[in-house]
Amino acid sequence: MIEFENVTFSYPDGQTLFKDLSLKFAQGTFSLVKGHSGTGKSSMLKLMNRLEEPQTGEIRFKGKPLQSYAPQVLRTSILYIQQIPIVINGSVKDNLLLPFDFKSNRDSEKPDDNQLVEFMDEFRLKNINLDHNATALSVGQLQRICLIRGLLLSPEVILLDEPTSALDEESCRIVESSVERLFHESGRTVIMVSHKKFEPEKITPVVLELVDGQIREVE
């Protein structure tokens, strides 16, 4: 699904995170990427939908170079959900439907209220109304709102960047359970970066560790 071939990436200050990095993420797999802070886990995710660009090497999506896709199309197919949830000052419904206001998604059919409520029920948000002000929600609730918002666009790949790092234990458990159920039921390709211990109940993730600019599978 996604393939890195001899990818080198450095920060503007000259610090090199990856040098000749090669790896593959197979379709329909759940990959859990671990590593110490500063090893480049988040940068690796951003490279996958061109929020960052490598200095050398090539990254391919479904066999084609990332540059062959329009950025809007690529970022709908490969959804990046960052560590801190981003919402606008408006209702939960406004935030869930926000991507459909973008030019690249205006031809897509908007889900109705019943579909939105169904998604929210699945992510244990039954007690929140669509007209509730999103900025009044907890970080854990907002993280789930952002997950739902992305799923409404039917991405093929979901990139999760430390989705539970800012959450308390209970919220962390709910988000992890929602992510696990999402993968188990949809069969989407999920790549999750986390420094927290994650022990899913129904799936067996491919565990990868990023060390010194190279990545290896952990047995």
Higher confidence at residue 175 or residue 65?
65
Residue 94 is predicted with a pLDDT of 93
CA distance 192 to 206: 10
Burial class (CB in 10 A: 0-12, 13-18, 19+), 216: exposed
Q: What percent of the chain has pLDDT over 70?
A: 96
Q: Quick one: pLDDT band at residue 219, thresholds 50, 70, 90?
A: low
What distances in angstroms separate CA 32 from CA 68, 130, 196, one per listed residue? Answer: 27, 32, 11
Spatial CA neighbour of 149 closest among 128, 123, 185, 169: 123
What does the domain layout of the chain look like in residue ranges? Answer: 2-217
Phi and psi (nearest 5°) for 98?
A: -55, -45
176's enclosing H/E stretch is: helix 169-186
Average pLDDT, the chain: 85
Q: Show the CA angle centred on residue 180, arms to residues 38 and 136, nearest 5°.
A: 75
Give tens-digit pLDDT for 50-89: 999 999 999 999 999 999 998 888 988 898 988 788 889 9
Give tens-digit pLDDT for 20-48: 889 999 998 888 888 777 778 888 999 99
In the predicted structure, residue 196 carries a pLDDT above the cut 70: no
Q: What fold does the segment set 2-217 form as a domain? A: Rossmann fold (3.40.50)
Residue 163 is predicted with a pLDDT of 78
Instruction: Average the pLDDT over 169-192 and give the result.
Output: 78
